């Protein structure tokens, strides 16, 4: 006897809630909302020109991604990561990107490497004088996300790319909103001049290590970029345990 086909719902085109979720997600990842900031549904709906029902559907998506928190009385706030949330996200990102650089450094795919190079060149030429620090910061992190998406996709692994697509909004949100736990200030464009110098340098060093095929060097560069350069990184037990960070606190200093 032939099996009966399961009843599936009809496919739907991209909906308004998806578009709204994208707009709000981008705003959170661009640092336009502070950690823990209350989002007033009526004000957001008016600003976006949509009904509150559509907005709530979009907010439900962001809540599932843990980018916002919705209380039982429908109060909506931007996520305010704990210190553990922040470092768990950083550690997970390092592990995913370490796997990526291992693969990319051994694939020697010229087209992918040229794409990474082109993004770094854009980073190196971001104008500063003719725009606000906030605008500059948003351009910096837009290119940063583009670079890391390109790096993951350069592995040629659908599983890794799909995992990254699902996880990256949360990982970026936790690292951005949890800046205070890493010894950094808010708003994030306060230290934009330092970022403008360090970010291209770190990405350039990573691309050069990958292009040379030096896997060990590439792994170290991704670690440097995500953790070593961050204040307080080596102090957190989550980082020590996950990355086997050397702990010299118990070293015997007696002669």
Sorting pLDDT into bands at 50, 70 and 90, what band is 242?
Answer: low
With 0-12 / 13-18 / 19 or more C-beta atoms within 10 angstroms meaning exposed / middle / buried, residue 207 is buried
Q: Is residue 2 part of a domain?
A: no
User: Residue 137: which domain range?
Assistant: 83-243
Higher per-residue confidence, 248 vs 211 = 211
- Single residue among 31, 55, 78 that ends a domain in this structure: 78
Residue 181: its pLDDT value, please? Answer: 67
71 with 89, same domain: the answer is no
- Single residue among 41, 56, 78 that ends a domain in this structure: 78
Interval 170-181 mean pLDDT: 84
Q: Is residue 172 part of a domain?
A: yes
26 with 116, same domain: the answer is no
Q: Is residue 128 part of a domain?
A: yes
Here the CATH number for the domain that contains residue 154 is 1.20.120.530
Interval 75-95 mean pLDDT: 88
Interval 245-251 mean pLDDT: 48
d(C-alpha 248, C-alpha 238), whole Å: 16
d(C-alpha 25, C-alpha 95), whole Å: 24
d(C-alpha 54, C-alpha 57), whole Å: 5
At residue 76, what are phi and psi to the nearest 5 degrees?
Answer: -110, 130
108 with 172, same domain: the answer is yes
Span 34-79, pLDDT tens digits: 999 999 999 999 999 999 999 999 999 999 999 999 998 889 999 9
145 with 228, same domain: the answer is yes
92 with 58, same domain: the answer is no
Task: Scan for tokens 């909004």, then name that residue.
Answer: 169
Q: Is residue 211 part of a domain?
A: yes
Sorting pLDDT into bands at 50, 70 and 90, what band is 133?
Answer: confident
In this structure, are residues 231 and 216 in contact, taking their beta carbons and an 8 Å threshold? Answer: no
Q: Beta partners for 70?
A: 76
Q: 241 in helix, strand or coil?
A: helix
34 with 125, same domain: the answer is no
Here the CATH number for the domain that contains residue 68 is 1.10.10.10
Residue 130: its pLDDT value, please? Answer: 78
Residue 104: its pLDDT value, please? Answer: 96
Q: Is residue 5 part of a domain?
A: no
128 with 61, same domain: the answer is no
Nearest 10 degrees: Cα torsion 225, 238, 244, 107: -40
53 with 111, same domain: the answer is no
92 with 53, same domain: the answer is no
- Single residue among 28, 49, 78 that ends a domain in this structure: 78
What percent of the chain has pLDDT above 70? 83
What percent of the chain has pLDDT above 90? 51
Instruction: Round the average pLDDT of the chain to a whole number and report it.
Output: 84
Number of domains into which the chain is organized: 2
Query: Listing from the earlier edge strand, what are the strands of the sheet with 76-78?
Result: 38-39, 76-78, 68-70
Strand residue runs (E) in 128-208 = none
With 0-12 / 13-18 / 19 or more C-beta atoms within 10 angstroms meaning exposed / middle / buried, residue 2 is exposed
d(C-alpha 216, C-alpha 64), whole Å: 36
Interval 226-241 mean pLDDT: 64
């Amino acid at each position: 006897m032939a099996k009966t086909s399961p009843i599936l719902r009809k496919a739907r085109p991209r909906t308004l809630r998806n578009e709204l979720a994208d707009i709000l997600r981008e705003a959170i990842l661009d640092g336009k909302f502070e950690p823990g900031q209350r989002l007033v549904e009526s004000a957001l709906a008016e600003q976006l020109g949509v009904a509150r029902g559509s907005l709530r559907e979009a907010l439900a998506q962001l809540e599932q991604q843990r980018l916002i928190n919705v209380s039982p009385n429908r109060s909506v706030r931007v996520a305010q990561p704990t210190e553990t949330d922040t470092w768990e996200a950083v550690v997970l990102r390092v592990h995913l990107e370490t796997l990526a650089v291992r693969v990319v450094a051994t694939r020697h795919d010229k087209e992918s490497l040229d794409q990474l190079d082109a993004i770094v060149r854009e980073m190196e030429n971001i104008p500063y004088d003719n725009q606000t620090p906030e605008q500059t910061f948003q351009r910096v992190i837009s290119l940063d996300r583009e670079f890391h998406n390109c790096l993951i996709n350069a592995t040629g692994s659908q599983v890794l790319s799909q995992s990254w697509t699902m996880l990256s909004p949360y990982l970026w949100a936790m690292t951005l909103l949890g800046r205070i736990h890493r010894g950094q200030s808010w708003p994030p464009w306060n230290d934009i001049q330092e970022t403008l110098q360090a970010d291209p340098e770190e990405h350039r060093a990573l691309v050069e290590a990958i292009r040379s095929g030096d896997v060990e060097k590439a792994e170290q560069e991704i670690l440097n970029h995500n953790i070593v350069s961050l204040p307080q990184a080596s102090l957190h037990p989550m980082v020590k345990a996950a990355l086997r960070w050397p702990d010299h606190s118990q070293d015997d200093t007696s002669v």
